[in-house]
């Protein structure tokens, strides 16, 4: 029997998850409440049920997340009965006396890395599963499925190991850890088609809704939670929008949309001429190699 492309992607991802369970002693699944990590949890259910997950869900909370995503996270963890570990960027700022970025477009997104590295150290995680996809960004397109990071979490593109057929090499030195990306080969559209096929529930902010927003540098930024402080010349509007990606409020823009259903969202994505991160992420637009540099610093 010839497998449909979604079946092929699914079985590849399940295989990778089981490899993690087999090769590592203390793995973790990084869960943000976004559609990609929700897809990972669904794949983990397929990979390990009726057993328990061989890893906890870990969320690095910047304190600037959408309430809808946080509620979804807590409900999901309870519904599937898996362990959820949350660590707060705010605590790291306090303990390490980090300087919080200030100014007009300040974001805690960069500080997440410190908390992530501390959490990896605290629990001695040797593998962290993440929902990064290669179609998102040109540096991500270069990363292996099993990506070895040094003790500072740093990615060295020049030190990537060969990765042959479906053999994944998880051997690491003490102090190193591996970031694992089971949905590397999925595109944004694949994720949505899979969510539709599997009838996966999503946080409501992925669908069109009315919301109060600040127009800043041509992008629609949410006023929710008071994360972004309006300035005198900022225009505050109410629009019908949805979020194409769900991340930290301070760096995730909304897009105007009439897509109330999964089918409508999929139509919208098929018709768009702008990439996912280009439309919504402020943090990637800082420089040509913004993502590569963040990865070298230990980011996902």
User: Which residues of the shown chain bind another protein in the complex (CB under 8 A)?
Assistant: 2, 4-5, 8-9, 134-135, 137-142, 144, 157-158, 160-166, 184-185, 187, 189-190, 272-275, 278-279, 288-289, 292
Indicate the residue among 105 and 160 with the shorter CB distance to another protein: 160
User: CB-wise, 9 or 60, nearer to another protein?
Assistant: 9
Residue that the structure tokens 């010839």 belong to: 2
Q: To the nearest whole angstrom, how small is the minimum distance from the Cβ of residue 165 to another protein?
A: 5
Residue with smaller CB distance to another protein, 75 or 166: 166
Instruction: Round to whole Å and give the CA distance between 39 and 234.
Output: 36
Are the C-beta atoms of 85 and 57 separated by less than 8 Å? Answer: yes
User: Nearest approach, Cβ of 229 to another protein (angstroms)?
Assistant: 27
Nearer to another protein, 11 or 204 (CB): 11
Q: How far apart are CA 110 and CA 106, in angstroms?
A: 10
Tally of CB atoms within 10 A around 149: 21
Smallest separation (angstroms) from another protein to the CB of 277: 9
Q: Min. distance of Cβ 41 from another protein in angstroms?
A: 23
Min dist. Cβ of residue 130 to another protein (A): 17
User: Cα(189)–Cα(191) distance, rounded to whole angstroms?
Assistant: 5
Which residues make Cβ contacts (< 8 Å) with residue 300, sequence separation at least 6?
Answer: 30, 116, 130, 132, 179
We find the least distance from the C-beta atom of residue 247 to another protein, in angstroms, to be 18
By beta-carbon proximity to another protein, the closer residue of 189 and 224 is 189
Report d(CA 200, CA 39) in Å as an integer. 8
Q: Residue 225's CB: how many other CB atoms inside 10 A?
A: 13
| Cβ nearer to another protein, comparing 35 with 295 | 295
What span, in angstroms and rounded, lies between the C-alpha atoms of 284 and 271? 23
């Amino acid at each position: 029997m010839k497998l449909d492309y979604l079946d092929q992607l699914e079985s590849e991802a399940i295989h990778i998850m089981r490899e993690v369970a087999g090769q590592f002693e203390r793995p973790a699944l990084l869960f943000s409440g976004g559609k990609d990590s929700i897809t990972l949890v669904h794949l983990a259910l397929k990979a390990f049920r009726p057993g328990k997950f061989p890893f906890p869900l870990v969320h690095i909370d910047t304190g600037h997340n959408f309430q809808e995503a946080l509620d979804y996270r807590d409900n999901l963890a309870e519904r599937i009965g898996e362990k959820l570990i949350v660590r707060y960027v705010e605590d790291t700022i306090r303990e390490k006396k980090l300087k919080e970025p200030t100014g007009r477009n300040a974001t805690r997104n960069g500080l997440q890395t410190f908390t992530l590295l501390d959490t990896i150290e605290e629990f001695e995680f040797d593998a962290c599963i993440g929902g990064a996809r290669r179609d998102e960004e040109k540096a991500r397109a270069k990363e292996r499925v099993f990506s070895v990071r040094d003790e500072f979490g740093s990615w060295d593109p020049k030190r990537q190991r060969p990765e042959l057929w479906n053999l994944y090499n998880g051997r690491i030195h003490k102090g190193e850890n591996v970031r694992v990306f089971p949905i590397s080969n999925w595109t944004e559209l694949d994720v949505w088609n899979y969510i539709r096929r599997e009838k996966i529930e999503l946080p409501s902010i992925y669908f069109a809704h009315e919301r109060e927003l600040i127009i800043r540098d041509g992008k629609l930024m949410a006023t929710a939670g008071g994360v972004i402080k309006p300035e005198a010349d900022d225009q505050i509007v109410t629009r019908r929008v949805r979020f194409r990606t769900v991340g930290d409020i301070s760096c995730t823009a909304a897009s105007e949309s009439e897509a109330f259903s999964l089918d409508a969202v999929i139509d919208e994505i098929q018709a768009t001429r702008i990439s996912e991160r280009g439309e919504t992420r402020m943090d990637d637009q800082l420089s040509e190699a913004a993502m590569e540099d963040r990865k070298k610093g230990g980011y996902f």
